[in-house]
Amino acid sequence: MTVQDIFPAEVSLWLRRGAQLIDVREPAEYAGGHLPGAVNIPLAQLKSTPVLSRAPVVLVCASGSRSAQAAALLTEAGHSDVAHLLGGTVGWMQEGRAVEFPEVDDGQR
């Protein structure tokens, strides 16, 4: 199965189809801002993560390189509905799209 390269404007279409949005960057990069609703599973851990369902998957990284690698791993593992975001979070933010930051528990709640 082939991987679909998608642009930021197409992410919402995939999410409406029930896609999982997975950010394959390292946790420190993810903490610096990520696409709304994205789950962080670093590329090195993706192969050993059993939480992935057979739902459509959209992969994202900083620029698109690691998400392309992740897409290849998932398709080799049998996932057939995989896309990766061209331009990654850099391209996402260059278009003026919002990012989220993880909540920090500072112990004052």
Note whether 58 and 80 are within 8 A (CB).
no
In the Cβ-directed half-sphere of 3, how many Cα atoms lie within 13 Å? 22
Note whether 78 and 52 are within 8 A (CB).
no
* DSSP symbol at 2: P
Is 29 noted as a catalytic residue in this protein?
Answer: no
* DSSP symbol at 43: H
Note whether 55 and 81 are within 8 A (CB).
yes
Nearest Cα residue to 67 out of 23, 31, 30: 23
Q: Which of 61, 62, 74, 85 is catalytic?
A: 61
Question: Looking at the annotation, which residues are catalytic?
Answer: 61
